[in-house]
């Protein structure tokens, strides 16, 4: 099948199929005129590659996992599982970092809301004083 049919059947763009081939994740044969031709099994392979991308893996990591598909063995399976565990740990660490970042943003937003409420109160010297961190959280526009 030609590239357009593969892309359509796999639910991806032609550009994605070309990218997968450039990255060494997918192979084709070429006609004498240079057109790419794929086998029926490439439809499943593209779907598998899509699933791995959706799992947050890079093309480099995906290429490390493909020997498990291309040459199934206990050694390749163990290597793939170990690599996926490393990626899972990387993602977990990233999630923890993002959670801390969100908590810090929540704290900043809380301080900004407190300051806004103080601004709405009758003017007193306390409403224009810096907060406990020494910063004045004034988000007003001029």
Q: Which residues of 96-107 are buried (b: 16+ CB within 10 A; e: fewer)?
A: eeeeeeeeeeee
Cα Dmax for the chain = 84
Average confidence (pLDDT) over 111-131: 76
Q: What is residue 30's DSSP assignment? A: E
Task: Assign 121 a pLDDT band (cuts: 50, 70, 90).
Answer: confident
pTM, to two decimals: 0.69
- How far, CA to CA in Å, does 125 sit from each of 52, 96, 121, 129? 58, 40, 11, 7
Task: Assign 125 a pLDDT band (cuts: 50, 70, 90).
Answer: low
d(CA 45, CA 28) in angstroms, rounded, equals: 12
Task: Assign 69 a pLDDT band (cuts: 50, 70, 90).
Answer: confident
Cβ contacts of residue 116 below 8 Å, gap of 6+?
139
Q: Residue 95 class from Cβ within 10 Å (0-12 exposed, 13-18 middle, 19+ buried)?
A: exposed
Per-residue pLDDT, 65:
92
Per-residue pLDDT, 142:
42
Per-residue pLDDT, 30:
93
């Amino acid at each position: 099948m030609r590239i357009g049919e593969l892309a359509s059947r796999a639910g991806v763009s032609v550009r994605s199929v070309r990218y997968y081939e450039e990255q060494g994740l997918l192979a084709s044969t070429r006609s004498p005129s240079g057109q790419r031709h794929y086998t029926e099994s490439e439809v499943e392979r593209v779907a598998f590659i899509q699933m791995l991308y959706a799992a947050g893996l890079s093309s480099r990591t995906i290429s490390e996992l493909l020997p498990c598909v291309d040459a199934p063995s206990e050694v390749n399976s163990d290597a793939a599982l170990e690599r996926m565990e490393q990626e899972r740990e990387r993602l977990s660490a990233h999630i923890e970092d993002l959670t801390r970042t969100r908590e810090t943003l929540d704290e900043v937003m809380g301080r900004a809301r407190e300051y806004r409420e103080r601004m709405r109160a009758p003017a007193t010297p306390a409403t224009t004083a810096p907060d406990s961190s020494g910063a004045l959280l004034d988000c007003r526009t001029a």
